[in-house]
Amino acid sequence: MKRFILFGLLIVGFAALAGWARTVGSLPSPLARDFTTGTPSVKSMSVLAFAPDGILLIGDSEDAAIYAVDLNDRTVRSQKEALRLMDLEGQIASLLGTTSESVLVHDLAVNPISQNVYLSVSRTNARAHWDSRFTLPNDLGDAQILLKITPDGEIDEVPLQGVKYARAILPNPIEASKKHRWKKGIRLRVDTITDLVYHENKIYVAGLSNEEFASTMWQVPFPFTEDISATTVEIFHGAHGRYETKAPIRTFLPYQLNHEEYLLAAYLCTPLVTLPVSKLENGQHLMGKTVGEFGSGNYPLDMVRYQKNGKDYILISNSNLPFMVVDPDDIASYGGSITEEVEGYTAGVPYSVRSGTGIEQMDLLNADYLLALQRMPSGKLNMFSYPLARF
């Protein structure tokens, strides 16, 4: 799950102007000063994201932990080029010595400095059992393979032996043995971490805790300390006509509305909610404000912020609906709150749709292109770059 990381683009622009793009990759990151050198015991690469200095963040649901890994990937690439790979699963299978049916991509994140693309992958035949519109990769296997795709399209496995890393353990995660209520055979543990975002010296982590109100937002200081806070989150789901406390946030991003910091969060079936960051207090319970209902029977997969003609927009990709474009000014000016069941499954803040079905992952490749994994009618998984101008 992915964000527009402003610090990355600023680094790219400054590096190009200052002429140090060739040497920055060899410089150590001060953020990794206290990291351990060794092999992180990652059990499941459930979610990927980036912190400053090209440090990869791995959300491990099985371990209920966040890993920060310094891959020394800081060589600046300032070109604004597209990236396109056909039959990605077939190419990965060739690299791993298996078949495309035995490859499952769990998440994608682009390093905003180098524009290298990182994938978390599992070797499993689970796709043969993909029998539900609500099935997600983490339901079917544990990703333990990290791959890198360069801007030139070269795919390589990234070893995690002898790397500099740090680990933060989330307090009170969902009990490992608890079963999903309506996904038969699935443990709730796979949703310990559903998304994570670095923002202003913190990592915000959405998922499920073992509290009675299970939906939780953790705040993890970065670099890591033991001062981790957890806030349980409740929302009103207009399409379902009820308050919900157990459904986790599926994708989110920080955004300032009316000079106040918020998290914009999307849930299954597809409410859009605002959470004031100032109210995310340790041990407290927060009622989010539901500002939109965008359609039932759908997973929101990824959310990014981009600019067009100097103005911000929010783009949401979905499992069963087209791309959705939301104007954050509409969120800021929306005075209401959805507190009753809505008819027709849509209400609140307006949005516009853009063509693009079969999207499974997305992130910003650079200032001009969106990168997406798209399942084609043929069944092949392709990697496309969409010009942001089309949105």
In the chain, what percentage of residues exceed pLDDT 90? Answer: 84
Q: Is the pLDDT assigned to residue 325 strictly greater than 80?
A: yes
Q: Is the pLDDT assigned to residue 20 strictly greater than 60?
A: no
Q: How confident is the model at residue 25 (pLDDT cuts 50, 70, 90)?
A: low
**Residue 123 tokens, joined:** 């070797």
For the chain, give every domain's residue range: 6-390
Which option is the CATH number for 6-390: 2.130.10, 2.60.120, 2.20.28, 3.40.50?
Answer: 2.130.10
Question: Which element (helix H / strand E) includes 254?
Answer: strand 251-257
74-97 pLDDT per residue, tens: 999 988 999 999 999 999 999 999
181-185, 254-258, 385-389: segment of lowest average pLDDT: 181-185
Q: Is the pLDDT assigned to residue 267 strictly greater than 90?
A: yes
93 phi/psi in degrees, rounded to 5: -60, -40
Nearest-angstrom CA–CA distance, 391 and 383? 18
231-260 pLDDT per residue, tens: 999 999 998 899 999 999 999 999 999 999
Residue-level pLDDT at 170? 98
94 phi/psi in degrees, rounded to 5: -65, -40
114-169 pLDDT per residue, tens: 999 999 999 987 666 666 778 899 999 999 999 999 999 999 999 999 999 999 99
Residue-level pLDDT at 344? 82
**Better-predicted residue by pLDDT, 13 or 200:** 200
Mean pLDDT of the chain: 92
Q: Is the pLDDT assigned to residue 59 strictly greater than 70?
A: yes
Residue-level pLDDT at 124? 86
3-class state of residue 62 by DSSP: coil
Q: Residue 5: exposed, middle, or buried by beta-carbon count in 10 A (0-12, 13-18, 19+)?
A: buried
Q: How confident is the model at residue 357 (pLDDT cuts 50, 70, 90)?
A: confident
Judge contact between 273 and 279, C-beta under 8 A: no
Question: Which element (helix H / strand E) includes 303?
Answer: strand 300-308
Q: How confident is the model at residue 57 (pLDDT cuts 50, 70, 90)?
A: very high
